């Protein structure tokens, strides 16, 4: 049995139950959806969430009756007679153009629905406890504001009670980890109406987190031979015409800014700027590969309805880089890029992925078959060399080249699209990029686009949910709090704070006039990795007591040892 069929059949059971409880109800539609089903109704008098248990109970009754799903094909005329009291069903029947159209209907006991099916054979096939009504919502008939507002009842349904229980736990866990809720509670970022939707402002703690990520990226890429660039956020429209974005990417771009006689666009991508740096002088094969990186903040249009916390925004910072190389260098560069990407994800605590290799689209593409084969093979070799499992998305590449995408799985198993590594046979041609080869001939380099974390905003959203806000020491926005037990310990606490602060730690001194209990509770809520509690004993012995968030154990040691240990943890990305 297909899970969609099961969900669809349960929606009919829901409709049947509602009909028995509310005989005057009018029916809209009731499809299967991603994790369950819904059905739209028009009630004579409104119902509320508190009515759901009663409806669910009636559904269980109906299932026990073991009614059959009976399929029938009728004439349009007969269908109109059957649904004569159901105005929405009549509307659906009228929408069918042909007068001699055959109409498919399904009976379940006394309930009959206009429906193409398929369905299960009998209500008894529905596993015990495999579904749950969850909520009511308003929904316009046919999704149009011009029409009546119906009442939608949502349910979730899985193939068994066990699967449903697991899914519900996961939902609760996901809710507990929701980055929008934690982002607010931990004061990481804010989105303000007057500033604009989809434009997060990083608050101090969020900024500290992204700065830790930025520093990590900066050093890792520097060591790997990348050179960092920094480009402006606006550029003349001419640049986007040359790059082709004005032609094929315009719907994602914002409207032009008029500057004197010229138009400027806010950038949706960093690539053209990096090419300008490459093209600043004539390049020799001896210089290649050239690797340019930028944490470039780009702005892309998204409809306001799809904006979602940090995951879907209108301005975001890519950990963008471009590698320019010869065809001979392609395989080696793709391998080292993929290797670096996997290492980075591991450093951030992600060890499971779904990897996709996307190949040449059938219809529209640029570049010779030869180079497509070469690049696709190079991507495949890199995956094989690192013994990574992957799926092939045949024809799923961009028009300008094949690519590897990686979806990381977070601590509760959800996949998130992050890494992308793409060959590009288009832009080098558009910008007339060249290098002089061994024989003194002009050649076109291959360009690799790669973002290993993707968007910093989105990646932080994922990180928040992955760690449920309890970040490892190296990433924690506030790494340690210094907590004097009483006023008598304030002076020593200040000394300890200064020493930690000067050692580069993100440390806070909490010497305000509050009870130590309250301060400790606050540190727990804020998920601070280390609480450094200083009482008379510590003040006298010039030691510190450090409570570890993860082990919940307290160690008394010298400040020097604590600093040494902490630096080691940070160096090891713990």
Residue 228 sits in the site that holds a copy of itself (CB under 8 A)? yes
Query: 528, 186 in Cβ contact below 8 A?
Result: no
Cβ proximity to a copy of itself, 230 vs 389, nearer residue = 230
**According to CB under 8 A, which one of 168, 252, 297, 417 is a site residue for a copy of itself?**
297
Nearest-angstrom CA–CA distance, 436 and 287: 10
**According to CB under 8 A, which one of 25, 74, 235, 436 is a site residue for a copy of itself?**
235
Cβ neighbors of 404 (< 8 A, separation 6 or more) are 338, 355, 356, 357, 358, 379, 382, 383, 390, 419, 420, 421, 422
**According to CB under 8 A, which one of 83, 106, 299, 459 is a site residue for a copy of itself?**
299
Nearest-angstrom CA–CA distance, 293 and 288: 15
Residue 525 sits in the site that holds a copy of itself (CB under 8 A)? no
Cβ proximity to a copy of itself, 63 vs 475, nearer residue = 475
**Binding pattern for the stretch 535-574 against a copy of itself, x by CB under 8 A and - elsewhere:** ----------------------------------------
- E strand or H helix at 177: helix 161-177
Name the minimum Å distance from CB 442 to a copy of itself: 20
Residue 181 sits in the site that holds a copy of itself (CB under 8 A)? no
Nearest-angstrom CA–CA distance, 525 and 212: 21
**Which backbone phi and psi does 120 adopt, to 5 degrees?**
-70, 170
Cβ proximity to a copy of itself, 61 vs 192, nearer residue = 192
Helical pair 330-347 and 204-223, crossing angle rounded to 10 deg? 140
Cβ proximity to a copy of itself, 146 vs 304, nearer residue = 304
Query: 191, 199 in Cβ contact below 8 A?
Result: yes
DSSP character at residue 68: B
Sign of CA dihedral 74, 79, 81, 83: positive
Cβ neighbors of 525 (< 8 A, separation 6 or more) are 185
189: number of Cβ within 10 Å: 24
Cβ proximity to a copy of itself, 69 vs 292, nearer residue = 292
**According to CB under 8 A, which one of 122, 242, 411, 417 is a site residue for a copy of itself?**
242
**DSSP secondary structure, 205-225, as one string:** HHHHHHHHHHHHHHHHHHHTT
Cβ neighbors of 261 (< 8 A, separation 6 or more) are none
Residue 251 sits in the site that holds a copy of itself (CB under 8 A)? no
Name the minimum Å distance from CB 488 to a copy of itself: 20
Residue 233 sits in the site that holds a copy of itself (CB under 8 A)? yes
Cβ proximity to a copy of itself, 315 vs 396, nearer residue = 315
Cβ proximity to a copy of itself, 49 vs 219, nearer residue = 219
Cβ neighbors of 171 (< 8 A, separation 6 or more) are none
Structure-token match 């349009």, residue found: 76
Residues forming beta bridges with residue 139, ordered by sequence position: 150
Interface residues for a copy of itself in 72-111 (CB under 8 A)? none
**Binding pattern for the stretch 311-340 against a copy of itself, x by CB under 8 A and - elsewhere:** ---xx-------------------------
Nearest-angstrom CA–CA distance, 569 and 574: 5
Residue 439 sits in the site that holds a copy of itself (CB under 8 A)? no
Nearest-angstrom CA–CA distance, 275 and 255: 24
Name the minimum Å distance from CB 534 to a copy of itself: 20
Name the minimum Å distance from CB 13 to a copy of itself: 41
Cβ proximity to a copy of itself, 61 vs 498, nearer residue = 498
Nearest-angstrom CA–CA distance, 220 and 209: 17
**Binding pattern for the stretch 187-216 against a copy of itself, x by CB under 8 A and - elsewhere:** x--x-xxxxx--xxxxxx-xxx-xx-----
Cβ proximity to a copy of itself, 119 vs 519, nearer residue = 519
Interface residues for a copy of itself in 499-518 (CB under 8 A)? 501-502, 504, 506, 512
**According to CB under 8 A, which one of 98, 175, 230, 389 is a site residue for a copy of itself?**
230
Query: 42, 53 in Cβ contact below 8 A?
Result: no
**According to CB under 8 A, which one of 96, 259, 282, 394 is a site residue for a copy of itself?**
259
**According to CB under 8 A, which one of 108, 229, 330, 344 is a site residue for a copy of itself?**
229
Cβ proximity to a copy of itself, 167 vs 216, nearer residue = 216
- Active site members: 271, 300, 318, 320, 322, 403, 449
3-state secondary structure of 28: coil
Residue 254 sits in the site that holds a copy of itself (CB under 8 A)? yes
Residue 487 sits in the site that holds a copy of itself (CB under 8 A)? no
3-state secondary structure of 67: coil
**According to CB under 8 A, which one of 33, 60, 134, 277 is a site residue for a copy of itself?**
277
Query: 262, 236 in Cβ contact below 8 A?
Result: yes
**According to CB under 8 A, which one of 48, 144, 255, 439 is a site residue for a copy of itself?**
255
Q: How many residues does the chain have?
A: 574
497: number of Cβ within 10 Å: 22
Site size toward a copy of itself, by CB under 8 A: 64
Nearest-angstrom CA–CA distance, 353 and 336: 18
Residue 218 sits in the site that holds a copy of itself (CB under 8 A)? yes
**DSSP secondary structure, 132-159, as one string:** EEEEEEEEEGGG-TTSPEEEEEEEEE-S
**According to CB under 8 A, which one of 100, 145, 260, 362 is a site residue for a copy of itself?**
260
Nearest alpha carbon to residue 508 among 183, 177, 208: 208
Nearest-angstrom CA–CA distance, 58 and 74: 29
Nearest alpha carbon to residue 151 among 96, 88, 105: 88
Residue 417 sits in the site that holds a copy of itself (CB under 8 A)? no
Nearest-angstrom CA–CA distance, 532 and 493: 9
Cβ proximity to a copy of itself, 264 vs 467, nearer residue = 264
Name the minimum Å distance from CB 517 to a copy of itself: 18
Residues at the interface with a copy of itself (CB under 8 A): 187, 190, 192-196, 199-204, 206-208, 210-211, 218-219, 222-223, 227-236, 238-239, 242, 254-260, 262, 264, 266, 272-273, 276-277, 280, 286, 292, 297, 299, 301, 303-304, 314-315, 501-502, 504, 506, 512
């Amino acid at each position: 049995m297909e899970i969609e069929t099961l969900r669809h059949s349960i929606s009919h059971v829901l409709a049947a139950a509602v009909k028995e409880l509310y005989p005057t109800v009018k029916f809209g539609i009731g499809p299967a959806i991603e994790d369950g089903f819904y059905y739209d109704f028009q009630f004579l008098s409104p119902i509320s969430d508190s009515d759901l248990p009663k409806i669910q109970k009636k559904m269980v009754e109906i299932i026990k009756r073991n009614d059959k799903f009976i399929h029938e094909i009728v004439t349009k005329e007969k269908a109109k007679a059957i649904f004569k009291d159901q105005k929405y069903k009549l509307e659906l029947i009228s929408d069918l153009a042909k007068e001699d159209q055959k109409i498919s209907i399904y009976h379940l006991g006394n309930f009959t629905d206009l429906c193409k099916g398929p369905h299960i054979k009998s209500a008894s096939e529905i596993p015990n406890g495999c579904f749950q009504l969850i909520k009511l919502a308003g929904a316009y008939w046919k999704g149009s504001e011009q029409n009546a507002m119906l009442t939608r009842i949502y349910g979730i349904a899985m193939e068994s009670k066990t699967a449903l229980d697991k899914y519900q736990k996961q939902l609760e866990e996901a809710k507990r980890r929701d980055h929008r809720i934690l982002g607010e509670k931990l004061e990481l970022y804010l989105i303000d109406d007057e500033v604009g939707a989809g434009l997060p402002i990083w608050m101090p703690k969020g900024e500290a987190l992204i700065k830790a990520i930025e520093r990590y990226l900066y050093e890792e890429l520097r060591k790997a031979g990348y050179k960092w660039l920094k480009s402006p956020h606006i550029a003349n429209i001419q640049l986007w015409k040359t790059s082709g974005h004005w032609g094929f990417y315009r719907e994602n771009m914002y409207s032009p800014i008029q500057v004197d006689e010229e138009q400027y666009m806010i950038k949706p991508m960093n690539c053209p700027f990096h090419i300008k740096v490459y093209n600043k002088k004539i390049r020799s094969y001896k210089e290649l590969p050239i690797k340019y990186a930028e944490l470039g903040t780009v702005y892309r249009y998204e409809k306001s309805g799809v904006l979602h916390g940090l995951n879907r925004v209108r301005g975001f910072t890519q950990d963008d880089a471009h590698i320019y190389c010869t065809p001979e260098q392609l395989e080696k560069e793709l391998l080292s890029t993929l290797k670096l990407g996997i290492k980075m994800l591991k450093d951030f605590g992600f060890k499971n992925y779904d990897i996709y290799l996307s190949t040449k689209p059938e219809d529209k593409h640029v570049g010779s078959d030869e180079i497509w084969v070469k690049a696709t093979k190079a991507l495949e070799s890199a995956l094989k060399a690192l013994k990574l499992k992957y799926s092939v998305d045949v024809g799923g590449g961009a028009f300008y080249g094949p690519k590897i995408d990686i979806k990381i799985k977070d601590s509760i198993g959800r996949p998130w699209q992050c890494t992308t590594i793409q060959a590009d046979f288009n832009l080098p041609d558009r910008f007339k990029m060249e290098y002089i080869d061994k024989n003194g001939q002009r050649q076109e380099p291959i360009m690799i686009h790669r973002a290993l974390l993707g968007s910093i905003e989105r990646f932080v959203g994922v990180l928040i949910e992955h760690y449920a806000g309890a970040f490892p020491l190296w990433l924690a926005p506030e790494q340690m709090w210094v907590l004097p037990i009483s006023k008598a310990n304030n002076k020593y606490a200040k000394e300890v704070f200064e020493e930690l602060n000067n050692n580069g730690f993100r440390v806070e001194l909490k010497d305000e006039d509050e009870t130590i209990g309250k301060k400790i509770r606050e540190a727990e809520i804020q998920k601070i990795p280390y609480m450094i509690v200083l009482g008379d004993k510590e003040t006298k012995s010039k030691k510190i007591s450090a409570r570890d968030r993860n082990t919940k154990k307290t160690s008394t040691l010298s400040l020097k040892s604590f600093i040494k240990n902490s630096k080691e943890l940070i160096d090891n990305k713990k």
